Copies of this chain bind each other. A is one copy, B any other.
Amino acid sequence: MMAVAVITRLGFMTRWEPGARERLQAAALELFATSGFEQTTAAEIAQSVGLTERTFFRLFSDKREVLFYGQDLFLQAFLDGVAGAPGGASPLEIVASALQGVAAFFPAERRSYARTRQAVIDRNSALQERERHKVAGLANTIAEALHARGVEEPAATLAAASGTTVFGIAFAQWIREGEERSLADIEAGVFRELLKVAGEVTVLEKSP
C-alpha cells in the first residue's frame, strides 16, 4: 500500500527480500485491523512476512511504532511550508500557509488507507498515546521553525499548537465516511472557525 517503494534491483534471489520495514508495516496494519492491536504479537507480524521478532524490534523501537514510522516526509513538508511562507506574514498566517501545503500529502486515494489506520488507532488507547505524542512533537518542531523565523515565545508555541489542532480536526473530518471535500478545503474552514472563536472574545482588562 501507499509509498511502499520496493526496490527490486535485480531478478536475483537475494538473501533478504528488500523492504523489510514496509512489509512489516503493511502486515501489522492488516493484523491489527483484523485481530486487534493487543491480540497481535510482534512475533506473529514478523513471522507473517518471514522475519523474526528480533528483526522487528531492530527496525521499530517498539510495537506501536510500526504504525507511525516514516512520517518524516510529512513533517518535512510542514517545515518547508513554514520556511517558505511570505516575508511579512504573522505567525498564524505562516502556519496556515504551511497547513495548506501539507494537505497535498493526503490526496483522495489515501482516504481509504487512512481510515482503516485511524480505526485501528481509535480502538486502542496505547496507540492514541503514541499518536498524540507524535503530534505534540510536530508542534514542538514547528514552534522551533517559527522561532528560527524570528517569532518570539509564547507566540511561536501558540501558533504551532493552533496549527496542529486545526490539522487534527480537519483530518478527522476528512476521514469521515461520506466526506467529499479535499483536506485543504476542510482545513481552511476550520481555520476560519478558529479565527472566529478568537474574535468573539471581549478583552477585559489590559495588564499595566
Contact = CB atoms under 8 A, between A and B. Distances in A.
Interface of A: 90-93, 96, 125, 128-130, 132-133, 136, 154-155, 157-159, 161-162, 165-166, 169, 173, 185, 188-190, 192-203, 206-207
Contacts of A197: 90-92, 155, 158-159, 162
Given A90-B201, A92-B200, A197-B159, A207 B192 contact: yes
13 contacts: A90-B197, A93-B200, A128-B136, A129-B132, A132-B133, A133-B133, A154-B173, A158-B166, A158-B169, A162-B162, A185-B207, A188-B207, A198-B199
Contact of A132 (B132, B154, B194, B207): B132
Given A132-B136, A195-B203, A200-B93, A165 B169 contact: no
B93 A201 contact: yes
Contact of A165 (B130, B162, B185, B206): B162
A165 B161 contact: yes
A99 to B, nearest CB: 12
B207 A201 contact: no
Given A169-B154, A189-B207, A198 B195 contact: yes
A198 B165 CA distance: 14
Contact of A158 (B91, B157, B193, B207): B193
Contact of A155 (B165, B196, B207): B196
A185 B132 CA distance: 28
A156 to B, nearest CB: 9
Contacts of A198: 92, 162, 194-195, 198-199
Contacts of A91: 197, 200
A165 to B, nearest CB: 4
